[in-house]
Amino acid sequence: MHPEDRERVVNYCVSQSRSGIDHEAEYRALTRDSDYIWIRDVVHVVRHGTEVEALVGFMFDISERKAREDELLRLKLELEALSYQDGLTGVANRRHFDTVPEREWSSAMRNGAPLAIIMLDLDHFKDFNDRFGHPAGDACLRRVAAVLGDMTRRPRDLLARIGGEEFMLVLPETDAEAARIMADRCRQLVHAAAIPHPGSEGGFLTVSVGVCSMVPADGQLPTVLLEAVDRQLCSAKRQGRNRIAVAEAQPAA
């Protein structure tokens, strides 16, 4: 019996046998060729009165079934991962993003730590698609996602494409100044990528960015932060695009 299975299976089977209870167990067994196969061991306890007289066991090779189960589990995990991934850019999608702010908000509230969100929108992207076509637009989105992906280096940082030409960065334990620096770095990196866009000022693709960082207060919901960062993005666009706008004060609860 495989060493990793031995203690668990032997203890269980001995206990059941001594109690006179029929039982079964699955474990890996060593073959004469020094390979392991999966065994299903079915045991019938023969009793004489209250005494256990004998054990009658049947062993079945269930290796093929186990292999199918392992493959199904692998496919399930792969499908689950794909369901949270944006098919075009490879970053997190809106479905994934929707699961994150509430979790991080709760963590920030427990720890009294700031939580920052950066919202980015590609400037004049409809005009980009109209000029160059949707295949070029898709390539542009993939390029931007790759540029922004370099900014998420901590395990809990998240970059998501939430729809069309909009991206979100979720940054736990990040105050307003650190978020502002990161947002401006994102803006500069997109501009430095030098993606041609005749409809944009300067002839290259730019982004508008909204930024907000908050330490959650009792009774506040994460929607407060999301609404605040959305207002900042609108402000950046109103001010002429290719710039960042940062919430200067924490919104009221």
d(CA 173, CA 118): 13
pLDDT of 253: 42
**What is the 3 state secondary structure string of the chain?**
CCHHHHHHHHHHHHHHHHCCCCEEEEEEEECCCCCEEEEEEEEEEEEECCEEEEEEEEEEECHHHHHHHHHHHHHHHHHHHHHCECCCCCCECHHHHHHHHHHHHHHHHHHCCCEEEEEEEECCHHHHHHHHCHHHHHHHHHHHHHHHHCCCCCCCCEEEEEECCEEEEEEECCCHHHHHHHHHHHHHHHHHCCCECCCCHHHECCEEEEEEEECCCCCCCCHHHHHHHHHHHHHHHHCCCCCEEECCCCCCC
In this prediction, residue 84 carries a pLDDT of 86
- CB of 6 within 8 A of CB of 30? no
Q: Tokens 């929607």 sit at which residue? A: 223
User: Is 165 an annotated catalytic residue?
Assistant: yes
Per-residue pLDDT tens digits for 173-188: 999 999 999 999 999 9
Which of 165, 173, 201, 227 is the catalytic position?
165
What lies within 8 Å, CB to CB, of 204 at 6+ separation is 191, 193, 194, 195, 196, 197
Residue 196 confidence (pLDDT): 94
User: Does residue 115 contact residue 108 with C-beta atoms inside 8 Å?
Assistant: yes
Fold of 3-66: Beta-Lactamase (3.30.450)
Q: Are 214 and 188 in contact (CB under 8 A)?
A: no
pLDDT of residue 83: 79
Q: Where are the domains of the chain?
A: 3-66, 86-246
pLDDT of residue 252: 43
**Among 195, 99, 196, 98, which Cα is nearest to 145's?**
195
Sequence-separated (6 or more) residues with CB below 8 Å from residue 93: 84, 85, 86, 87, 160, 161, 162
Q: Are 38 and 61 in contact (CB under 8 A)?
A: yes
- 3-66 and 86-246: identical CATH topology: no
Q: Which pLDDT does position 40 carry in this prediction?
A: 95
The pLDDT, as a whole number, for residue 151 is 86
- 86-246: in CATH 3.40.190.10: no
Write out residues in the chain with pLDDT < 50, as ranges: 251-253
